Amino acid sequence: MFQNLTSMIIAASENFNVQDLPKLVAERLVISEFAAGILCSVVFVALWVLPVLLFSRKSIPGVVTGVLSMCFCVAVGWMPVWVLLLVSLTISAMFSGKIKEWIT
C-alpha cells in the first residue's frame, strides 16, 4: 500500500511545475489566469505572514515577511510586478509618520 502511494507521489512531483500552478487553478475554478495567480499569491503570503503576526505581536516582522513572500511570488511568476510596487508604496505611506518619529 505504501509503495503504491509513494510511487504516486513521486510521479506527481516529477510532472509538477510551480510556475504552472495558477494555470491549473484557473482551469479547475474556471477563472482567468490573472485571478488565479493573485489567488495563489494571496494564499502563499497568508501562509507565511499569519504565523509571524501571531507570534511576534509587532507589525514590522509581518511586513518584512509579507514583502519577501510577495517577492517570491513575483519571481515565480504568480504575481505581476506592479502589484508588489503598489503594496510597497502603500506600506511606505503608512509607515512614513513613524519613520519621522524614529529619526527625530
Following DSSP, what letter does each residue of 80-94 receive, concatenated? -HHHHHHHHHHHHHH
- For 61, the domain range is 2-103
End-to-end CA distance of the chain: 66
What pLDDT does residue 59 have?
82
* Interval 77-101: pLDDT, tens: 999 999 999 999 888 888 887 766 7
What the block records as the C-alpha cell of 19 is 510556475
CB 41 within 8 A of CB 76: no
CB 26 within 8 A of CB 40: no
pLDDT above 70 coverage of the chain, percent:
82
Half-sphere exposure (CA, 13 Å, Cβ side) for 100?
A: 6
- Which tops the pLDDT comparison, 5 or 45? 45
* Interval 54-69: pLDDT, tens: 998 888 898 899 999 9
Domain total in the chain: 1
